[in-house]
């Protein structure tokens, strides 16, 4: 009988912000434990909340084998690897004064905006051990500002968003960048309908097509990508990976739920220079459909592993926004509610978009809709990507898209 043991610990401090003032302090600490056992082509799982008792979990997982849930016994081989990125970001006793000072400065710089929601500090650690001799440990931390921003008098639930996370907190950089958006927000500009470069977080577009990258759908012929693994189907400039590297995604764990490690860069590849290189799988779906497993599985603490996807890493093609899109472009900050038809036509409204000129914000656009076809968006209409713009840790892509007024 083969076995895996996983222990995960999360420690969070979360501050609530109302009208620019911190009004609550929440502390949570949660530890979970998991044992998965494999025998005769089946898996048994047991999980617990709280400090795990491995022996007791093993007994329960062994009993769960009677459910006869098929799963291949293909544990990863011996490897010992440890990454610790859990240096203290801000001492807990300094968190409220630090963040209140940040909010006060933000309020002064942006007096027509009202700020609310959460600021958090999160530390996680994950330990994975299996009976083949694999022993992995990863810990990390991040500070996370997730502020809803209301334009005073707009009557809206929120008008824009100040979201950022990283392994350090640079109030000056955040305020300086956000002030640029604030200034542009109050300059109304207009454009004619047509085709424009759209600058946007790639996940807003790609996640609407995420199911087409799932191994099971691919193998069943139900994906737009079916039969195209290994083929060049997108732009040469497009390379997309799952980002499990803490240097570019703070807090990321470098191994997946089944102990798979994509060394040396910890970024399992999905698309490389336009070639479809990988699909989203777990060991079971990879084995069932004879697809390579790229190692992005996820699992609940008491659940069977399944297909997953963490953050995305898109290889940069430009060093700055100005280099990425020269002349007029549209920077889409919020685009909720878009979707794609079964044949791959994507359309979305933009709740907040700015006109850019040579990479600089010019002013705020009215309601617009934008969209395009899946293969064209990531093919001939893909312009490229930039990292660390407008802030360290940011990642933006640019596509040529059809734009109409809302």
Partner 1 sequence: MINFREGFYADIRIEDRSSTVIAYKAGVLENMKNRLEKQAFLRVYDGKLWYYASVTDVEHLQETLDGLYAAGTANPDILKDPIVRRFEVNRDRRMSFEDCSVRDITLKEKQALLKGYLPLLSENECIKMSQATYLDRNSVFTFISSLGADINFDYQTCGLSVSFDMTEGEKQFSGSWQQGGTCFDEAKGHEDEIRATIEEQYRYMRDSVPVEPGKYPVVLSPEAAGVFAHESFGHKSEADFMLSDETMKAEWQLGKTVGSPILSIVDSGEVPGTGFTPYDDEGTKARKNYLIKNGKLAGRLHSAMTAAMLDEGLTGNARAVSCDFEPIVRMTATYIEGGELDFDELIAPIEKGYFIKHINHGSGMSTFTIAPNVCYEIVNGKLGRPVQISVITGSVFETLGRIDGLTKEVEQLSFITGGCGKMEQYPLPVGFGGPFVRVSEMNVQ
Q: Which segment (215-223, 259-267, 353-361, 381-389) binds partner 1 by CB under 8 A?
A: 215-223
Site for partner 1 in 92-121 (CB under 8 A): 114-118
What is the rounded CA–CA span in Å between residue 224 and residue 115?
42
Q: From the list 155, 194, 230, 264, which residue makes contact with partner 1 (rule: CB under 8 A)?
A: 155
Among 2, 9, 11, 16, binds partner 1 (CB under 8 A): 16
329-368 positions binding partner 1, by CB under 8 A: 334, 336-343, 345-349, 351, 367
Of 1, 53, 63, 67, the one binding partner 1 by CB under 8 A: 67
For 173, phi then psi, to 5°, come to -65, -40
Task: Considering the complex, state which of residue 160 and residue 317 has its C-beta at the smaller distance from partner 1.
Answer: 160
Helix (H, G, I), strand (E, B) or coil at 138: strand
Per DSSP, the three-state class of 108 is helix
* Mode of pairing for the β-strands spanning 360-365 and 352-357: antiparallel
- Residue 219 belongs to what H/E stretch? helix 215-220
Residue-wise burial string across 120-153, b where 16 or more C-beta atoms lie within 10 A, e elsewhere: bbbbbbbbbbbeeebebbbbbbbbbbebbbbbee
Give the alpha-carbon dihedral of 215, 220, 226, 227, to 10 degrees. 100
Nearest approach in angstroms of CB 42 to partner 1 is 9
Q: Does 306 bind partner 1 (CB under 8 A)?
A: yes
Residue 64 tokens, joined: 């769960």
| Spatial distance between the Cα atoms of 67 and 43, rounded to a whole number of angstroms | 9
Q: Which of residues 130-149 bind partner 1 (CB under 8 A)?
A: 146, 148
State the number of binding residues for partner 1 (CB under 8 A): 68
DSSP class of 263: T
Residue carrying structure tokens 């946007």: 200
In the set 19, 92, 101, 210, which binds partner 1 (CB under 8 A)? 19
Site for partner 1 in 224-243 (CB under 8 A): 224
Smallest separation, CB 115 to partner 1 (Å): 7
Closest distance to partner 1 from the beta carbon of 149 (Å): 9
When binding is defined by CB under 8 A, the residue of 157, 194, 230, 264 that contacts partner 1 is 157
DSSP 46: E
- Reference 113, options 160, 66, 60, 68; nearest CA is 160
In whole angstroms, the minimum distance from the beta carbon of 299 to partner 1 comes to 10
For the segment 21-60, give every residue that binds partner 1 (CB under 8 A): 22-28, 30, 45, 47, 49-50
**Which neighbouring-strand residues pair with 219?**
none
Nearer residue to partner 1 within complex by CB, 217 or 355: 217
Q: Give Cα 242 distance to the centre of its chain.
A: 9
Which residues bind to partner 1, rule: CB under 8 A?
14, 16, 18-20, 22-28, 30, 45, 47, 49-50, 64, 67-70, 114-118, 146, 148, 150, 152-158, 211, 216-217, 220-224, 302-304, 306, 334, 336-343, 345-349, 351, 367, 369, 371, 406
């Amino acid at each position: 009988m083969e076995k895996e043991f996983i222990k995960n610990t999360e420690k969070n401090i979360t501050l609530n912000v109302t009208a620019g003032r911190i009004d609550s302090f929440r502390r949570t600490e949660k530890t979970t434990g998991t044992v998965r056992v494999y025998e005769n082509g089946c898996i048994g799982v047991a999980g617990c909340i709280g400090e795990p008792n491995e022996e007791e979990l093993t007994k329960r997982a062994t009993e769960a084998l009677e459910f006869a849930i098929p799963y291949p016994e293909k544990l990863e081989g011996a490897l010992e690897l440890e990454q610790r990125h859990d240096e203290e970001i801000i001492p807990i006793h300094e968190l409220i004064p630090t963040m209140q000072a940040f909010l006060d400065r933000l309020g002064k710089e942006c007096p027509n905006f009202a700020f609310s929601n959460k600021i958090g500090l999160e530390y996680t650690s994950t330990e994975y051990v299996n009976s083949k001799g694999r022993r992995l440990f990863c810990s990390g931390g991040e500070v996370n500002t997730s502020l809803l921003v209301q334009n005073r008098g707009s009557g809206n639930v929120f008008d824009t968003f100040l979201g950022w996370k990283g392994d350090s907190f640079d109030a000056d950089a955040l305020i300086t960048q956000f002030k640029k958006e604030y200034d542009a927000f109050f300059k109304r500009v207009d454009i004619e309908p047509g085709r424009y470069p759209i600058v946007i977080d790639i996940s807003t577009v790609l996640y609407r097509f995420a199911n087409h990258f799932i191994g099971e759908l691919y193998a069943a012929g139900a994906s737009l990508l079916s039969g195209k693994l290994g083929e060049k189907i997108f732009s040469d400039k497009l390379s997309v990976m799952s980002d499990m590297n803490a240097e570019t995604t703070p807090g990321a764990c470098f191994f997946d739920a089944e102990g798979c490690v994509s060394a040396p860069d910890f970024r399992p590849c999905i698309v490389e220079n336009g070639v479809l290189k990988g699909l989203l799988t777990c060991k079971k779906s990879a084995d069932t459909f004879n697809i390579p497993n790229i190692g992005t599985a996820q699992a609940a603490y008491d659940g069977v592993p399944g297909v997953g996807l963490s953050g995305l890493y898109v290889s940069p093609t430009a060093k700055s926004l100005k280099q990425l899109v020269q002349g007029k472009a549209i920077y889409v900050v919020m685009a909720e509610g878009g979707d794609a038809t079964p044949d791959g036509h994507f359309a979305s409204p933009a709740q907040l978009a700015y006109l850019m000129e040579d990479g600089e914000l010019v002013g705020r656009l009215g309601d617009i809709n934008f969209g395009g076809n899946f293969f064209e968006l990531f093919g001939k209409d893909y312009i490229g990507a930039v990292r660390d713009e407008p802030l360290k840790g940011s990642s933006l892509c640019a596509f040529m898209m059809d734009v109409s007024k809302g």
